[in-house]
């Protein structure tokens, strides 16, 4: 090969390397320019396994980290937790609170279908519940159950996700309601306006009523005044 031919080949190879480096890496999910943003989606946590804890064997009903690794999450999506009143759902963007299973940490919201204490965990007849949690923070989001003083979290009832921008927040979530209030540690008195059958009783307007658990999953009747619109829970 002549010197000029070799030099030309070297230039071609160098140009190919530069072009390859400029391309997005495989698996990063970069959409082609002009492609539509993904639609909003409801993600049922762990699918059919649900969000349950067996206090006898100290085991969870699913592998939540494995499930989360197979999903893609965007702002405006919902996580649907099919659970019962022996567990809770804690959402936080604080990695330290997550690693310590600490529901009292900063930037933490608690959604509880019951007491989330040892008495509920050992109940022979836990009440079924469905909790819908909107994804309103881009980046790292952490979820765990703090029932049993964090014992459920320590036994694997936890997972983390990365939330991408997607379409951004829909109008009903762009101005979210006040965060859930601290969990009530005892059931409300009989005859009060707060029915013990409401998911997150004592969690304020962000709770989802148990009446909303219909054949289709989470129905419009379960939407509280949290700005969680019926369309938000029945999207394909």
pLDDT at 216 over 80: no
Question: What is the average pLDDT value for the chain, to the nearest integer?
Answer: 72
Q: What is the pTM of this model?
A: 0.61
Among candidate residues 109, 108, 153, 101, the one with its CA nearest the CA of residue 131: 109
Sign of CA dihedral 159, 231, 139, 98: negative
Q: Could you tell me how far CA 12 lies from the centroid of its own chain?
A: 48
Confidence at residue 8, expressed as pLDDT on a 0 to 100 scale: 41
Residue 186, token pair as written in the block: 């005892």
Report the DSSP pairing between strands 78-84 and 42-44. Answer: parallel
CATH topology of domain 42-115+125-174: Immunoglobulin-like (2.60.40)
Which is higher by pLDDT, 57 or 220?
A: 57
Mean pLDDT of 208-217: 39
C-alpha dist (Å) from residue 60 to 39, 87, 143:
31, 11, 14
pLDDT per position as a tens digit, 14-36: 444 334 334 333 333 344 455 67
Mean pLDDT of 149-165: 97
C-alpha 194/C-alpha 222 separation (Å) is: 14
Q: Where are the domains of the chain?
A: 42-115+125-174
**φ and ψ at residue 89, rounded to 5 degrees:** -125, 120
C-alpha 65/C-alpha 79 separation (Å) is: 14
Looking at residue 222, the DSSP 8-state letter turns out to be G
Confidence at residue 106, expressed as pLDDT on a 0 to 100 scale: 79
Q: pLDDT grade, residue 152 (50/70/90)?
A: very high
C-alpha dist (Å) from residue 115 to 131, 133, 194:
14, 18, 14
């Amino acid at each position: 090969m002549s010197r000029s031919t070799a030099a030309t080949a070297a230039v071609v190879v160098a140009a190919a390397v530069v072009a390859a480096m400029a391309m997005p890496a495989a698996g990063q999910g970069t959409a082609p320019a002009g492609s539509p943003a993904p639609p909003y989606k409801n993600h049922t946590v762990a699918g059919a396994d649900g969000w349950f804890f067996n206090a006898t064997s100290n085991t969870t009903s699913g592998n939540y980290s494995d499930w989360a690794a197979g999903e893609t999450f965007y702002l405006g999506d919902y996580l649907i937790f099919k659970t019962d009143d022996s567990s809770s759902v804690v959402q936080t963007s604080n990695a330290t609170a997550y690693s310590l299973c600490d529901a009292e940490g900063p930037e933490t919201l608690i959604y509880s279908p019951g007491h989330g204490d040892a008495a509920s965990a050992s109940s022979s007849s836990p009440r079924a519940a469905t909790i819908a949690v909107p994804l309103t923070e881009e980046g790292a989001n952490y979820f765990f159950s703090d029932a049993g003083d964090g014992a459920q979290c320590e036994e694997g009832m936890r997972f983390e996700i990365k939330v991408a921008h997607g379409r951004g927040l829909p109008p009903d979530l762009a101005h979210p309601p006040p965060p859930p209030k601290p969990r009530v540690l005892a059931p409300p008195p009989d005859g009060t306006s707060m029915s013990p059958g409401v998911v997150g009783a004592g969690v304020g307007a962000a709770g989802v009523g148990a009446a909303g658990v219909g054949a289709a999953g989470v129905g419009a009747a379960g939407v509280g005044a949290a700005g969680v619109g019926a369309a938000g829970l029945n999207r394909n």
